Structure 1
């Protein structure tokens, strides 16, 4: 009995080492497990379900092959792929979840989320997030020509990278008080999220009770997987076959 969690792969056609590691993971580890959860920022950029590039088709095929075997796969949007929609779900068999979801993880109610909503000190990002999650703005954006959407997406990605370089690391991390508040609201003592790229298992107190916050790692230098069984959870890494990649 095993459940796997991944996030922050930031997959792109340029990073074949990362993609190869993911495809190997899907073939050799994800088959036959209880469930696979993808907690956002799976793609480096997603500008609409109508982007049928060969790279995207390759990734969707891997998901479809997995779900066709009966392995459940669930997806929570991140800040890079929040436009993944119903067509992607139909084509892959992946179930889309709300931004905050409570699951039963071997008898333990567990809150799963991408994690960006916990970074409340990053006020500029939270204001940007509110805008791009506006249904009207998304509706208008998805009706632009695909080539234009790709150009806009690349510009936003470059702007985000530059802005993050100028921010203090403490601002980009989660706000501890927000973590406790959200866990109390959902009445859980286990939380799993990504986004911050700081894999760790944190111990804390929620309403006077011991709790834990598990942070998933990114896939920039190696694969990162949270492996959970009825006996517990462990953060693990997966080596890339080829660790060379283009400079930022």
Structure 2
């Protein structure tokens, strides 16, 4: 690292790691293995690291291997922060302990090279999708989560598979606009927290949106998913840019 040079902060989301897509898991592992404190000031994973997370007692070898890679990253001195997404909202203290990462409650407010920046997964901003918001409220309820986690692991796995299938069926018939963020919800949240920069994932529509908020410049940065390629947002003192990571072997298939 050059004298006076600050390492970049990296943001990723919506990897949806799953044993059925080993190429994506390999891409993520290679990505994480290459990070050091010299070039990465911190790694933020803004939700949906896993296709599904049914509890911190998850014993799938692929999932445990990912956690081991994250532990090695944090042990190398790279700070690791995570938000829960709509697929891995059950990440808990056991995951934190094993991975060495820190789970943040959303929205999370950070200082990003002097700019107050708000982080969240993004699903809470999709307020036009009323059916999903009702479902989100249900599964984020502590009583529901306690009852779900009390079930045997195999039963939880079966329930999660059924919920994913239902989600795919519903998504196929919904208008695309309904599943995107609501601009008024974005503006309201940014006003509430007094920020002009917001970073989120969830919608799988990577872009950097510049707009006016109450007459002043504001920015909403959307992270890409990890289906056809890897995707990250790299931020430094000079600004932020979206980057892609090539996936060996081509398209692993869409969700």
Shift in CA distance, 246/121, structure 1 to aligned 2, threshold 3 Å: closer
Structure 2 gaps of 5+ residues are 1-6
User: TM-score, normalised to structure 1's length?
Assistant: 0.98
CA contact (8 A) 1:74 1:94 kept: yes
Of the candidates 88, 95, 98, which is equivalent to residue 105 of structure 2? 98
Counterpart check, 1:227 vs 2:215: no
Counterpart check, 1:131 vs 2:113: no
Shift of residue 207, structure 1, vs aligned partner: 2.4
Q: What aligned pairs does 1:101-112 form with structure 2 within 5 A after superposition?
A: 101-112=108-119
Q: What aligned pairs does 1:140-151 form with structure 2 within 5 A after superposition?
A: 140-151=147-158
Q: Aligned partners of 1:30 and 1:163: how far apart in 2?
A: 41
User: TM-score, normalised to structure 2's length?
Assistant: 0.95
Q: What aligned pairs does 1:21-60 form with structure 2 within 5 A after superposition?
A: 21-29=27-35, 32=38, 33-60=40-67
Counterpart check, 1:3 vs 2:9: yes
Q: Aligned partners of 1:21 and 1:247: how far apart in 2?
A: 16
Shift of residue 214, structure 1, vs aligned partner: 0.2
Q: Aligned partners of 1:50 and 1:241: how far apart in 2?
A: 31
Shift of residue 70, structure 1, vs aligned partner: 1.1
Partner of 1:163: 170
Of the candidates 124, 128, 136, which is equivalent to residue 121 of structure 1? 128
Shift of residue 242, structure 1, vs aligned partner: 1.7
Q: Could you say what secondary structure the match of 1:34 adopts? A: strand
Shift of residue 31, structure 1, vs aligned partner: 5.2
How far does the alpha carbon of each residue in 1:198-224 deviate from its partner, in whole angstroms, 9 at most, with x for none? 000001122221000000000000000
Aligned residues: 248
Shift of residue 245, structure 1, vs aligned partner: 2.9
Shift in CA distance, 30/201, structure 1 to aligned 2, threshold 3 Å: farther
Two-structure CA RMSD over aligned residues (Å): 1.1
Q: Aligned partners of 2:244 and 2:136: how far apart in 1?
A: 30
CA contact (8 A) 1:4 1:30 kept: no
Structure 1 gaps of 5+ residues are none
